[in-house]
A and B are shown apart, each in its own frame.
Chain A
């Protein structure tokens, strides 16, 4: 894979790559993409894609809060890197 292709892919994936990572990951990604190309030989005429192995149908549950919610808002906020009162702080969007 061309370095430029990898750069575009990394940008889409929101991953900042250093020059050395661009080298090492570039080799590994190319090796696997070449390997994926072996799928081209398979004769797949008239086969539908399988997205889920065994899902019969969609199932939904009632849109109601659980009687005993396990994760409270407080326990979730405790994991935030930076808080101001109950707001999560991020750098200015300017």
Chain B
């Protein structure tokens, strides 16, 4: 983490840091709100909650885990460290827009458990990041509130839906950021922006304070440039929270040791650069001493239709709450309450969100449920079974994160439908509920980053970190993916601007 726990330390450093982020983000668009002073000293009420087992429990658990590992405790690693939060995760004092017109003015009245746990470990929220409206998209172009670019090439997207979080980390504006991942929304932008992106096991991290999109798939995830802070964040935010009844303590059992890695056979439809990167990573793993074993996933072709059936069905129910009555955008005039709701939703929701609500409503209509929703859920069972069988023989599986490279803004290179098809590898892990990590593996000759995805059985996140750690070690100082040009680290930028500050 080096200089990161110093940047909020005193007024001079905060001033330099604030200028740095405002200057660098002006052309990038990662943040919807940025104010490092706002939660520098959170009101005591948020911390002094003796009845809140989630809060106190996370600190003591983090401490004992850190001590057991014999190293730095996670909370000391995060002390004073700034972090960004995707704007569909609640942080009191900031807005909670979900990048939607309908919630543009919404002030969050409370703070998500994952954020509270980060702050309890000493980290501080500095801002809220852009996303595809309600997390629906693969480009962040579906944000109603701003455009986010890829730090490696401003004509290209940062990915999505956690595009703002990934871009902020890639540009060095924060060392870590929280995002949400329903079908790949942390891993895909992490891959496009050359950073790590973790989707934990479903239920490993509390969803309390995460605005619901598809409740059986949603998880809070983490983006980071380096592996160790990503692990520190995961260790702090995970664990049981009585405010989310799907949250769980990690199930003990799966060992962290990886000796055999599964590689996919019969991969189709990959961009040549992604295919080459996949093959090189496989060779790399072999060179590191891992045994490889071919894995065939015959259910892969059903992943995307099953995922979109389930995700849109759940979204249509979850988003029914936005009606402009108690909060959110309300039309100037309406003849009656029904009209008020229809106008609020028509004016407040963007086209992609409407599309998914309509689809979800359609697949749940009486007469169609067996054909679509129930069928998708049975495919989900087939996918889980097939992955469980694969994990009998291998401890982890390597796939590309995304079959395509970061694409240009708009639909010129990849239509909205093709963007959905590209969720194939990430949505596989989402449907099975298993953990997955996108690892920045290499850069193309054109300088675009390519990520690879590691999968492990439920609650075996340590295996992902172990393999990713070996890959990073082997790459050495150079790292696997170079930093984007024009986005120097804060100390270099500050020195060039004449700030005489010691960041060590």
Q: Tell me the A residues contacting B by CB distance below 8 Å.
A: 1, 5-6, 9-10, 12-18, 21, 24-25, 28-29, 31-33, 35-36, 38-40, 42, 44, 47-56, 58-61, 66-68, 70-72, 75-76, 78-82, 88, 90-94
Whether, in the assembled complex, B286 has its beta carbon less than 8 Å from a beta carbon of chain A, the answer is no
CB-based nearest B residue for A10? B358
Whether, in the assembled complex, B106 has its beta carbon less than 8 Å from a beta carbon of chain A, the answer is yes
- Residue among A28, A40, A60, A92 with the most chain B CB within 10 A? A28
Write out the residue numbers on chain B whose beta carbons fall within 8 Å of the beta carbon of A61: 242-243, 245
In this complex, the interface size class of chain B, counting residues with CB under 8 Å from chain A, is: 35 or more
Do the beta carbons of B341 and A32 come within 8 Å of each other?
no
A-B contact pairs, 23 of them (CB 8 A): A12-B365, A13-B316, A14-B338, A15-B342, A16-B346, A25-B355, A29-B355, A32-B308, A33-B362, A35-B305, A39-B309, A49-B378, A49-B381, A50-B381, A53-B216, A55-B203, A68-B48, A70-B92, A79-B327, A81-B325, A81-B329, A92-B336, A93-B337
Do the beta carbons of A29 and B362 come within 8 Å of each other?
yes
Write out the residue numbers on chain B whose beta carbons fall within 8 Å of the beta carbon of A6: 358
CB-based nearest A residue for B323? A14
Whether, in the assembled complex, B443 has its beta carbon less than 8 Å from a beta carbon of chain A, the answer is no
Write out the residue numbers on chain A whose beta carbons fall within 8 Å of the beta carbon of B371: 40
Q: Tell me the B residues contacting A by CB distance below 8 Å.
A: 45-46, 48-52, 92, 105-107, 109-111, 201-203, 216-217, 242-243, 245-246, 248, 299, 301-302, 304-306, 308-309, 316, 320, 323-330, 334-343, 345-346, 349, 351, 354-355, 357-359, 361-363, 365, 371-372, 374-382, 384-385, 416-417, 420, 431-434, 458
User: Quick one: given A52-B216, A80-B326, are A39 and B376 in contact (CB under 8 Å)?
Assistant: yes
User: Quick one: given A36-B309, A78-B107, are A13 and B302 in contact (CB under 8 Å)?
Assistant: no
Secondary structure type dominating chain B contacts = helix
- Residue among B106, B109, B309 with the most chain A CB within 10 A? B109
Write out the residue numbers on chain A whose beta carbons fall within 8 Å of the beta carbon of B110: 70-71, 75
The CA-CA distance from A50 to B491 in the complex, in Å, is 50
CB-based nearest A residue for B342? A16
The CA-CA distance from A5 to B368 in the complex, in Å, is 12
CB-based nearest A residue for B362? A9
Write out the residue numbers on chain A whose beta carbons fall within 8 Å of the beta carbon of B308: 32, 35-36
Do the beta carbons of B384 and A50 come within 8 Å of each other?
yes
Do the beta carbons of B245 and A60 come within 8 Å of each other?
yes
CB-based nearest A residue for B46? A70
The CA-CA distance from A13 to B364 in the complex, in Å, is 11
- Residue among A5, A31, A67, A70 with the most chain B CB within 10 A? A70
User: Quick one: given A13-B361, A24-B351, are A39 and B384 in contact (CB under 8 Å)?
Assistant: no
The CA-CA distance from A94 to B336 in the complex, in Å, is 7
The CA-CA distance from A72 to B325 in the complex, in Å, is 18
